[in-house]
């Protein structure tokens, strides 16, 4: 059986490191804005199909489509 643990989420990310700056969104994926994104991943799997975390971003308009990690 899977190891079942509760993960407490904090909107400010990890209590020790907070939300970390993430890579910039490429300009060809944006309609407008110069977003700054920060986040913290609490849990993910090896193939990137499953990711759980907190994300924050300044205002922007993004081109519709698949988001690559």
Q: What is the pLDDT of residue 2?
A: 67
Judged against a pLDDT cut of 60, whether residue 1 lies above it is answered with no
Is the predicted pLDDT of residue 8 greater than 60, yes or no? yes
Instruction: Judge whether 60 and 32 are in contact, CB under 8 Å.
Output: yes
Q: What is the pTM of this model?
A: 0.73
12-49 in b/e burial notation, b at 16+ Cβ within 10 A?
ebeeeeebeebeebeeeeeeeeeeebbbbeeeeeeeee
H helix or E strand, kind and range, residue 54: strand 51-57
pLDDT digits (tens, 9 = 90+) for 35-68: 999 999 998 888 878 889 999 999 999 998 776 6
Would you list the domain boundaries of the chain? 1-69
């Amino acid at each position: 059986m899977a190891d079942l643990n509760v993960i407490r989420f904090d909107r400010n990310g990890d209590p020790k490191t907070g939300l970390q700056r993430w890579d910039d969104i490429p300009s060809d994926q944006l309609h407008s804005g110069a977003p700054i994104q920060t986040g913290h991943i609490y849990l993910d799997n090896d193939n990137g199909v499953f990711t759980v975390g907190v994300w924050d971003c300044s205002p922007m308009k993004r081109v519709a489509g698949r988001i690559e990690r």
